[in-house]
Structure 1
Amino acid sequence: MTAHLEAGVAQAAPWGIALDGLLAGVIHQRAKSALLEAGRAHQPLAERDDVDDLDLPLARCARGEDWHWAGTCARPVDGQQDRPDVRYWLGAADPRDLEEVAEAMPGRLEIGQGRYRQHYMPLLTTVTSAVTWDAVGDPDIIRDLVQNIWAIGKKRAAGQGRVLRWEVHPTDRDPWEAGHLHPDGAVGRPTPSTCLPPEILNENRHGGIGWAGLRAPYHHRSRQRRLVLPQLLDG
């Protein structure tokens, strides 16, 4: 699967966006919208001790200590794929906007500290014309899920990660490799070490070993494991 981008993508992790996380986000948002339309309460994932696994159109791999989805993280196809561009964003409260909603304003708005302090933060952006994923799954369902995603990654409202079009096409890669490795043979998703052949670990075709999410939702505490990390974008 390929997402053709307007100018690149800003990503939170030092590797690409996980395909199962992207698909799970769409399914979760649709289920959340259905609940709200029906007048039913929605409990945020962060408030749950455990979360259910959504029915994704991907195969499951159970070769390791715990199962995971057979799909990689995004890989840039060109541009500065091995050297992310460091950009910055500024967050500041506008006194003119505050005057419209506040009954009274202080003589001086403190922007160096407190709740109205300014933020000047770095944003790592991968400059590339497209990113690709490999996976084992149902292409028709995947195509339906991604067709209405207009942007991926961080700072989407500011124009980052804008998607021009999606392509979902078959591959002739070995099914296990398609679900775990980038085309160059490097580890392409967070993976238990017991799931990987010794030669991949011995040749350091990965981004090291550390704590990461095993499957979507990746940020949830119940998903955290000590895993072999994907190849890092900064080389």
Structure 2
Amino acid sequence: MASATPYHEPRPAPPHKPLAVRAAAELLGTALFAAIIIGSGIQATELTRDVGIQLLANSLATVFGLGILIVLLGPISGAHFNPAITLAAWWTARRGGDGVTTREGVVYVSSQITGAIVGAILANAMFAQPLVKWSTHDRSPGHVLLSEGVATAGLILLISGLAQSHRIRFAPVAVAAYVGAGFWFTASTCFANPAVTVGRSFSDTFDGIQPGSVPGFIGVQVLGTVVGLALATSIFQPVVHSE
């Protein structure tokens, strides 16, 4: 007699990709992400002088591009493309969750920074700009740094919250939407990514950042990562029911 409840074989876990393959995916994804941000910014400034329309075009390209990259490369490396996300994954692993080891984290971050620089140079080349031209866009004012810390904390809270509530499948839409919104609700236009911050200093364009502003940006991004992790831990901690 057949059981009333159908039995489903558990699905095997996807194979764990070699670290070299995951590093290549992180390098490629971060390079394309940086190229999308910088390239769409250059295109926008060439098409119009209206700053609002420039920002709209830049943010829309980033939203669609990031969502596609997460869908494409997420199954390979987790689609971090961001040292802040890798740092959060490393911390999660240290506390017994899914994440990355110290060695994996170092390889990921190195790949991401390399990829961001390659992506910036590629974007410059595609629009006949100098391959490397240091940005002159000063982003050091305090309110801009505050905005960047808030943007990064929100991103880490989002990703950690999705992971802890077992809804990480929504990451392509949720993360891309958050980054797109961040273009508009933060004075920093939501870099929230130390690797891409470094890459964007290589292009003196709409999306650039002066090299002198990079250390401050990375500092508040790290601080935002810590705050985001603390918020996610306190908000999404499992509920313990007393007997």
Shorter-chain TM band: under 0.3
TM-score by length of 1: 0.25
Task: Give 1 or 2: higher strand fraction.
Answer: 1
Which one scores higher on RCO, CA 8 angstroms, separation ≥ 6?
A: 1
Task: Give 1 or 2: higher helix fraction.
Answer: 2
TM-score by length of 2: 0.25
